[in-house]
Structure 1
């Protein structure tokens, strides 16, 4: 067995639809400058250009760089003089565009911070979700996040936000208001709210908030109890939350599970691997190939938490890590996939911080489902296709409370399928393995071929 030096255990480092965080090493190509010259170089906007160039040169999945002379491009970038940081960023974006890879991209400091917050599942704020009233456009509290300063202060869903630190919110966009509420941990923000026609003020101290990525409940459907789990993104906390959800629903003696991955854009690769192992005892989860054609096969490791019947819901916004999980469960015959064809992103990126707080995402590998299927631009094809009419899509969008109920066509089809599956079992409840083991699968968690 061989292991690529550029790929030390891909599952622990990479992200799909997201990325892994790593430090940037010193320049591999800088000449032996004096300390004063080197300090000036490191403070120059060109240093960020060179950092990003080197990361692409070292890690990018296509060693031909889309038939671009990457060495000549470095010289071209560093020869130019740039009038501003923004001009430097623009030149870098133009250089990356030559790869014709939308997933290899540069992010300014604000964009980079937003992405790292998203994949970490944490943010700095007071723990409220905002929305604009569909009719009036007024800002409302959609819900306070559990265990947040807002929840502790008694903020409730439906509260109207009139002002933020004295700034009136009339005509303010949701994103603009959210940016005003966010801030440094330990600082305060004053909100003027109204509830039932009464106006009041509340001062909240900002904190580090863990944003849940898993929601679950028990649903009684036709005499059966269904464990419904919605996974919104594969964050750093998602595996722990999923484990808690499955264990809790097992204690509730559910008869089957529905795992909802609709709208899930992806996230950390290792999170999807950990979650797949909660449903699979044996078999391959995903296969990856890097720029040097090194293969890595990631396997289940006999740690599944349930063998009950499982349906996975997907749509065309289920991408990357969602597709890895759905593909693994489908190819191993562990779950029935219901919905519409998924997004079709079969690439893995790594995310690197740059010295000025910006960052770069770089495609480092291609992945395949356990059966060797390349889902690029094709997606995972559901076992049972359920297409929604435009009217049905609008109804779900306008009434999110109906998602995961019998008014939701994807969910209702899943319930129908599970009912027929449960009726076909002699005891009405299965505690047997519902996945088909892959012959010759090793018992190790990760194998490199």
Structure 2
């Protein structure tokens, strides 16, 4: 299996509620082919793609040949009937990560290369066991973030409509809308129901923010990575190079609340910190593996601490897992989200799209973190109340010594600096 930059995405059910998606689709025009596919041909096209690519060759114990016979024996008078059958067909796999998108849904998922998006700014998933819609993470500085939405919140209702039995595509269609309009989400958090009225907006995304911090262990480079978008690696490179010029003693990389994104982006960023070693392996249904490795071009070898929490998902888990297994960094915080699957996202002949789970990924030590996540080396829990207070009401404290997880990271980094013999404040 070849890892391509254009069509592989991590955390397969992750859907960002905006016009920007979690993957670069690499879609090319199909010209007149868009007008040729009959409804039945579209159903068969979807079946064939799953037949060739799906990660589990038993199709999760489903007789996939019988499914084809069932749905091709039906008559279809229009595309909408075909769409309904495709969704029914895919539902038999009981894999919320494999999903069909009609042309509008597929268009909404395509990457906006301007780096701007319209929406509320949350990434959602469907829990495999409960089938509930769960927030992976709000994107920082978006309406959802400012309203108080948190990672792991369960979406019970959208504008009063129950989400029971609703898939991510249906939820997205209800939550999306024009800038300036409002949507009300009913959220379950710690057995309590809360309502959030959120105004949609046009949002500009900057994946990397960084600064030099004066701490008890000397000058520390603090880098916050919000998501693994197409330009994240370029911004990360600039951040590290600028902080190196400022002669920082070590780094704290903050992946808290980062819902993931592009596979190639996580690999490129890992190479900036790792000189050698495996970064990630992907395994398809034949057991064939594709490994991504460091290329000897790390930008720094200074001590590194990575902050993670339950909002750190998919690409965040690839990066933190690679740094942890290669003993390049110490992870501080809480257990990560637990999304270890890879999707292929592709266009269909009528302009609709299909996302298919084609592989799982393993950390360098061959850990399968799907559904479990990555455990930090140093656990620092925050209660929901503490997280809400810090991330919403006292955001100026994030990345300061008044941020409990950051403060612990500084302490851990100081020990790493001392062990490595890197100069600290007062010891130059």
Equivalences for residues 358-377 of structure 1 within 5 A = 358-377=352-371
Q: Report the alpha carbon displacement of residue 417 of structure 1 after superposing the two structures with TM.
A: 1.1
Q: Report the alpha carbon displacement of residue 297 of structure 1 after superposing the two structures with TM.
A: 1.9
Q: Is the 8 A contact 1:61 1:364 kept in 2?
A: yes
Give TM-score scaled by structure 2 length: 0.73
Aligned to 2:137: none
Query: Which of 211, 214, 217 is residue 220 of structure 1 equivalent to?
Result: 214
- The CA distance in 2 between the partners of 1:172 and 1:69, in whole Å, is 41
Aligned to 1:261: 255
Q: Report the alpha carbon displacement of residue 419 of structure 1 after superposing the two structures with TM.
A: 2.1
Residue deviations 1:30-60 (CA, integer Å, cap 9, x gap)? xxxxx9xx99852x33343233222211111
Q: Report the alpha carbon displacement of residue 270 of structure 1 after superposing the two structures with TM.
A: 0.9
Residue deviations 1:231-276 (CA, integer Å, cap 9, x gap)? 1111111111111111111112111111111111111111111110
SS of the residue corresponding to residue 106 of structure 2 reads: helix
The verdict on how the C-alpha distance between 1:401 and 1:92 changes in structure 2, with shifts beyond 3 A counting, is farther
Aligned to 2:14: none
- The CA distance in 1 between the partners of 2:27 and 2:200, in whole Å, is 33
Aligned to 2:10: 16
- The CA distance in 1 between the partners of 2:34 and 2:418, in whole Å, is 72
Count of aligned pairs: 352
Q: Is the 8 A contact 1:354 1:360 kept in 2?
A: yes
SS of the residue corresponding to residue 94 of structure 1 reads: helix
Q: Is the 8 A contact 2:330 2:377 kept in 1?
A: yes
Aligned: 1:357 with 2:357: no
Aligned to 1:417: 412
Aligned to 1:404: 399
Aligned to 2:110: 116
- The CA distance in 2 between the partners of 1:427 and 1:265, in whole Å, is 33
Aligned to 1:271: 265
The verdict on how the C-alpha distance between 1:115 and 1:417 changes in structure 2, with shifts beyond 3 A counting, is same
Q: Is the 8 A contact 1:20 1:350 kept in 2?
A: no
SS of the residue corresponding to residue 90 of structure 1 reads: helix
- The CA distance in 1 between the partners of 2:353 and 2:86, in whole Å, is 11
Structure 2 unpaired stretches of 5+: 12-21, 122-140, 149-177, 185-196
The verdict on how the C-alpha distance between 1:321 and 1:40 changes in structure 2, with shifts beyond 3 A counting, is closer
The verdict on how the C-alpha distance between 1:40 and 1:78 changes in structure 2, with shifts beyond 3 A counting, is farther
Q: Report the alpha carbon displacement of residue 111 of structure 1 after superposing the two structures with TM.
A: 3.0
Aligned to 2:69: 75
- The CA distance in 2 between the partners of 1:390 and 1:176, in whole Å, is 23
Aligned: 1:297 with 2:291: yes
The verdict on how the C-alpha distance between 1:104 and 1:218 changes in structure 2, with shifts beyond 3 A counting, is same
Largest Rg, 1 or 2: 1
Aligned to 1:190: none
Q: Is the 8 A contact 2:147 2:198 kept in 1?
A: no
SS of the residue corresponding to residue 117 of structure 1 reads: coil
- The CA distance in 2 between the partners of 1:396 and 1:51, in whole Å, is 49
- The CA distance in 2 between the partners of 1:218 and 1:304, in whole Å, is 20
Aligned to 1:344: 338
Q: Is the 8 A contact 2:8 2:344 kept in 1?
A: yes
Q: Report the alpha carbon displacement of residue 283 of structure 1 after superposing the two structures with TM.
A: 0.6
Aligned to 2:15: none
- The CA distance in 2 between the partners of 1:421 and 1:40, in whole Å, is 61
- The CA distance in 2 between the partners of 1:261 and 1:343, in whole Å, is 12
The verdict on how the C-alpha distance between 1:411 and 1:71 changes in structure 2, with shifts beyond 3 A counting, is same
Aligned to 1:310: 304
- The CA distance in 1 between the partners of 2:35 and 2:73, in whole Å, is 16
SS of the residue corresponding to residue 217 of structure 1 reads: strand
Q: Is the 8 A contact 1:13 1:270 kept in 2?
A: no
Equivalences for residues 149-160 of structure 1 within 5 A = none
Q: Is the 8 A contact 2:217 2:414 kept in 1?
A: no
- The CA distance in 2 between the partners of 1:83 and 1:316, in whole Å, is 46
Q: Report the alpha carbon displacement of residue 331 of structure 1 after superposing the two structures with TM.
A: 0.5
The verdict on how the C-alpha distance between 1:172 and 1:361 changes in structure 2, with shifts beyond 3 A counting, is closer
- The CA distance in 2 between the partners of 1:65 and 1:125, in whole Å, is 36
Aligned to 1:141: none
Aligned to 2:44: 50
Aligned to 2:277: 283
SS of the residue corresponding to residue 330 of structure 1 reads: helix
Structure 1 unpaired stretches of 5+: 1-6, 27-34, 136-164, 182-208, 431-449
- The CA distance in 2 between the partners of 1:25 and 1:170, in whole Å, is 32
Residue deviations 1:339-386 (CA, integer Å, cap 9, x gap)? 111111221111112233322111111111111111122211110011
SS of the residue corresponding to residue 111 of structure 2 reads: helix
Residue deviations 1:409-438 (CA, integer Å, cap 9, x gap)? 1111101111233344545269xxxxxxxx
Aligned: 1:131 with 2:126: no
Aligned to 1:191: none
